[in-house]
Structure 1
């Protein structure tokens, strides 16, 4: 199915009342370190602290009145659980959130604050899917996947659209890659709103399923994912993967030490709180700075929901 520029523009207009147009920041020092011109789209300042508010709002607004009345359901251990809860509350829609028992209490508390009704389950994907399916059957709620849902993908792409509207001559847009919703949406934004702008993904070596998927042409998974970038442990899906294959340039992998170093740079030099997943894109640029020398690069800072009890420094 071909996505059009008009579709993306309509999504941007639709969700505008329910999201923040987040600031774009720059750092002279980080420009010097990388030898590039960097523009940071700060989704850590988005409602609920991450870009996922965009996709959640668009997915709910794409439902008809009868569907909205019965509510929405998802399974998520973190940011999408919060995003769907807040978006649903803003639109007066019930939200049923399946969370693994092992999810941090701080994240469960945030979901409850936003009005989400939590059902806990064992932490395996099978248990999460079965529990969500049971809620669907019982309530008639519509299931919304955190990343493998076209309405979610188009919503996530609006962050890069705003970035390119503010800075139309970027050479690259770079985002972290987890479940694939942000990179797929950003690639479509670069295609339609950029001026020969290319989209690149950044991923931890410890969870490099998307990089391997690009090599093999089929969706790969991770046996384990021992990375500090806990938001990037999920796999690509059958809806976002074809968009990624067709529209992104490549994926750059980075080490855990490179992620921690980039995270520290952002905290210390830009004075903003970002989560480890957000630092992966800057780590990729530093790793391959010769390739990016003198280029104009937009980075989507994906979120700022940090567990302050588990800082890496």
Structure 2
């Protein structure tokens, strides 16, 4: 399905909810300049010639993931009194590192709530950036974060349901459009991972504004397919924590998209695709072998969708896959690389 350009221009969806506007993404790009990296858009010579593929390599960010964009934009937007109070965030790892990094850059104290079962390397990296980490059961992470925010007076930087975060992530779409034009092609279809929905929401705002007729697809694991279920049913749908935590893609284990990101998805995202666990592993291997990129499972799902659903993708279009992160545990990474390719 397609969506009219004026859905972006008036920044509202049919329910009247205000969506993030393109001007906010432009402002975010100015705030994050010099802190977040303008990552390369890399052509893939190994892709299907009838369906050219480019990779937006967000795994090359200073903290190894796209999350730095939204975190820096949110922290940079705070007034002096809010900065004095400090910030709090909840994350299984990449947003945790991003907020810790942004807080350190701006001299702000950070408290990060990380659920039990999060990747050890991501927890350690967050602590190394100077943040205080609190561990909680996964099913209590939102509840405990909001309780601590109220108790301490800290400003909550939500990982996805925050317009400042969405606008920051939208700078990826801004860069894709600009870099594709510089390389002499139009990005006809953009695929991006979905967890809470902040990335694909901001991306869709920018892409729909700058590339007329372009499609935006979210991608998530089959074992954490709440966003697809939401679009199919027309209602925001949550999955049990014990279900979403089965996937190897630890960065994509949110139980549901946010209330705000849901309105962006339903207004601007063309569809959400799902990929199997073997397809995710195969994509991690392919990115290592053919693109020379270290990518975590959650960061590889967009490429997994391209590789495993190639026959369903119309030929004659230019595809861009957002590789959202590379913060993978080395032992887990070695196990993936040493395993045999699987039937996806």
TM-score by length of 2: 0.86
Task: Name the CA distance, whole Å, in 2 between partners of 1:20 and 1:138.
Answer: 35
SS at the partner of 1:98? strand
Q: What is the distance in 1 between the residues matched to 2:165 and 2:125?
A: 21
Gapped regions of structure 1 (runs ≥ 5): none
Post-superposition offset of 1:176? 1.1
Superposition pairs of residues 150-169 of structure 1, within 5 angstroms: 150-168=163-181, 169=186
Tell me which residue corresponds to 1:222. Answer: 239
Which one of 270, 283, 293 corresponds to residue 272 of structure 1? 293
Residue by residue over 1:217-262, the C-alpha shift from the partner in whole angstroms, topping out at 9 and shown as x without a partner, is 1111223122121211112010100011000111111211222222
Q: Does 1:86 align with 2:101?
A: yes
Structure-2 residue corresponding to 1:172: 189
Q: Contact 1:70–1:141 at 8 Å: present in 2 too?
A: yes
Change (3 A) 1:137 1:288: closer
Which among 246, 260, 263 is matched to residue 267 of structure 2? 246
Distance 1:252 1:103, change over 3 A: closer
Are the aligned partners of 1:160 and 1:300 in contact in 2 as well (CA < 8 Å)?
A: no
- Do the aligned partners of 2:114 and 2:133 also contact (CA within 8 Å) in 1? yes
1:112 aligns with 2:122: no
Contact kept, 8 Å, 1:81 with 1:97, in 2: the verdict is: yes
The answer as to 2:63 corresponding to 1:48 is: yes
Q: Name the counterpart of 1:297.
A: 319
| Mapped partners of 1:150, 1:259: distance in 2 | 29
| Structure 2 unmatched runs, 5+ | 1-17, 340-344
Q: CA RMSD in A?
A: 1.5
Q: Is the 8 A contact 1:183 1:244 kept in 2?
A: yes
What is the CA–CA distance in structure 2 between the aligned matches of 1:131 and 1:248, rounded to whole Å?
31
Q: Which residue among 135, 141, 144 is the counterpart of 2:157?
A: 144
Deviation, structure 1 residue 2: 4.5
So what's the TM-score if we normalise by structure 1? 0.94
Q: Shift in Å at residue 265 of structure 1?
A: 1.0
8 Å CA contact 1:285, 1:292 repeated in 2? no
SS, match of residue 54 in structure 2:
strand
After superposition, give the CA deviation of every residue in 1:58-106 in whole Å (9 maximum; x if it has no partner). 1111211100111110111211111000011011111111122433332
Q: Corresponding residue for 1:4?
A: 21
> Does 2:118 match 1:98?
no
Task: Output the CA distance in 2 between the equivalents of 1:153 and 1:3.
Answer: 7
* In structure 2, C-alpha distance between the alignment counterparts of 1:17 and 1:69, rounded to whole Å: 23
- The match for 1:232 among 252, 259, 264 is 252
Name the CA shift for 1:101/1:228 in 2 (closer, same or farther; >3 Å). closer
Contact map agreement 1:157 1:189 (CA 8 A) in 2? yes
| Residue 185 of structure 1: aligned partner | 202
CA distance in 2, matches of 1:112, 1:262: 30
Report the equivalent of 2:11.
none
> What do residues 197-217 of structure 1 show as CA deviations (whole Å, max 9, x unaligned)?
111111211111100000111
Number of the residue aligned with 1:284: 305
Task: Kindly tell me the number of residue pairs found equivalent between the two proteins.
Answer: 309
Q: CA deviation at 1:306?
A: 0.5
